[in-house]
A and B are shown apart, each in its own frame.
Chain A
């Protein structure tokens, strides 16, 4: 009896975690990177506005048409500009955004380096 119980427990443990991520994982991944333009501070994935819901349908449609994730981003960028992407590429409008952290890091590093030399 005990063996049987253990067997059942093991059986349940083995097969109970068969929960797959939902089928829309690719769509969710893409919509998380798209900004909902009419709601502030929300991604298309988070938002339930009319605009976001239509975007989700369109992303599904584009995926069915066989477009890759990158192609979908380019498609929306052409329509709405850089702002729609949460991860904008490096261009003349965004270079400060990308380079500022590096500059701050170098500046801080220089201060630490200098002060450690003076300590010696």
Chain B
């Protein structure tokens, strides 16, 4: 009995190790966050660019309207790629686009908008990055779709043509 127990348990342990390694071989080791949606938007107050005034989240986001919140920065290269898509989304009058300028220099941010156009109705200034953390963001660029003070969709990374179609569909 004892003679059998040892080889069996060794085989069993190797099988378990094999199964674990085989499973994790296929897993990507880059953590892709589960996007937590249907959360209420955070309550915050922040400065607005161009207007030089302080505003609260309840003033910016009204009920029964679709909002797109886009976190961007002038130093962020993928943000430049998605800028044309934001420009074409801004033509849709069912959707209000709010920008969040993340850890940026005011002058650089303004010159980027002068160069590529301004799709944002209001721009929240997030100087130290804390407001975007309250939103549960990971970095720039990141986009949220908001309806009735709830986050209904969240896109990490730059927007593309496919997501553009998806957003158009969502707000219909």
Contacts and interface: CB of A to CB of B under 8 A. Distances in A.
A80 B36 contact: yes
Contacts of A55: 133
A81 B36 contact: yes
B27 interface: no
A59 B58 CA distance: 24
Interface stretch (A3-11, A16-24, A110-118): A110-118
Given A37-B31, A114-B5, A79 B138 contact: no
Contacts of B39: 78-79
Interface string B128-139: 111011111011
Interface string B3-20: 001000100000000000
Contacts, number: 55
Contacts of B29: 40
A43 B153 CA distance: 28
A94 interface: no
Interface stretch (A25-33, A46-54, A64-72): A46-54
Contact of A37 (B1, B5, B33, B130): B33
B114 interface: no
Contact of B133 (A58, A78, A81, A114): A58
A86 interface: no
Contact of A81 (B33, B130, B139): B33
Interface residues of A, number: 20
Nearest to B126: A54
B166 interface: no
Contacts of A51: 129, 133, 138-139
Contacts of B135: 79
Nearest to A111: B9
B150 interface: no
B133 A38 contact: no
Given A50-B103, A114-B5, A79 B36 contact: yes
Interface of A: 37-38, 40, 50-51, 53-55, 57-58, 61, 78-81, 83, 111, 114-115, 118
